[in-house]
């Protein structure tokens, strides 16, 4: 019974330290992180449903700067805390922002295109349709180059 109680207390403490609202509170106490949070609405917008900003990449870089201030790669929200909606909004805004999802999707699409192009050019070379674009020198040019190299 005692071990269970210790485990329960440790779990609660761990969850509160890794809680999104606790992380936000720590960020607000740090001047640099607080500055990033204040820029968030202007650069990324307040929506967690769509990315409708001029520069999604600028938004993603700002999100990464904010995430760098946190000790973990995400945070947790406890339904029993009474602030679940506020907590969940903050978590989605920082760790699951639509601009970041959009940039990830664009990167995946670019990698697929590059991979397809790479496969197409490789198959063209294998199939023999790749033609040489340089010509070999004529025999008199070869003789002239040999003479120049031999020093005579």
52: three-class secondary structure by DSSP: coil
How far apart, in whole angstroms, are the C-alpha atoms of residue 109 and residue 103?
10
* 111 domain-assigned: no
* 56 domain-assigned: yes
* 119 domain-assigned: no
CATH number at residue 65: 1.10.220
* 81 domain-assigned: yes
* 76 domain-assigned: yes
Q: What is the pLDDT of residues 118-146, one digit of tens each?
A: 665 555 555 555 565 666 667 777 888 88
109 sits in the region (left: phi over 0; alpha: psi -120 to 50; else beta) called: alpha
Split into its structural domains, the chain has a count of 1
How far apart, in whole angstroms, are the C-alpha atoms of residue 146 and residue 150?
6
Q: How many residues does the chain have?
A: 152
* 15 domain-assigned: yes
What does pTM read for this prediction?
0.59
Name the residue range of residue 19's domain.
2-100
**Contacts of residue 70, Cβ cutoff 8 Å, sequence gap at least 6:** 23, 26, 27
Q: Which of 79, 96, 70 is nearest to 17 (CA)?
A: 70
* 32 domain-assigned: yes
Q: What is the pLDDT of residues 44-97, one digit of tens each?
A: 988 888 888 888 899 999 999 999 998 888 899 988 878 899 999 999 999 999
């Amino acid at each position: 019974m005692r071990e269970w109680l210790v485990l329960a207390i440790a779990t609660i403490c761990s969850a509160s330290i890794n809680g999104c609202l606790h992380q936000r509170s720590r960020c607000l106490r740090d001047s640099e992180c607080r500055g990033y949070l204040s820029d968030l609405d202007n650069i990324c917008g307040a929506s967690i449903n769509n990315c409708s900003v001029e520069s999604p990449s600028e938004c993603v870089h700002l999100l990464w700067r904010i995430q760098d201030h946190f000790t973990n790669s995400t945070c947790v929200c406890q339904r029993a805390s009474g602030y679940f909606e506020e907590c969940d909004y903050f978590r989605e805004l920082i760790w699951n922002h639509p601009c970041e999802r959009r940039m990830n999707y664009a990167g995946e699409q670019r990698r697929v295109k590059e991979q397809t192009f790479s496969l197409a050019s490789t198959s063209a070379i294998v199939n023999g349709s790749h033609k040489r674009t340089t010509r070999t020198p004529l025999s008199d040019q070869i003789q002239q180059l040999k003479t120049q190299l031999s020093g005579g």
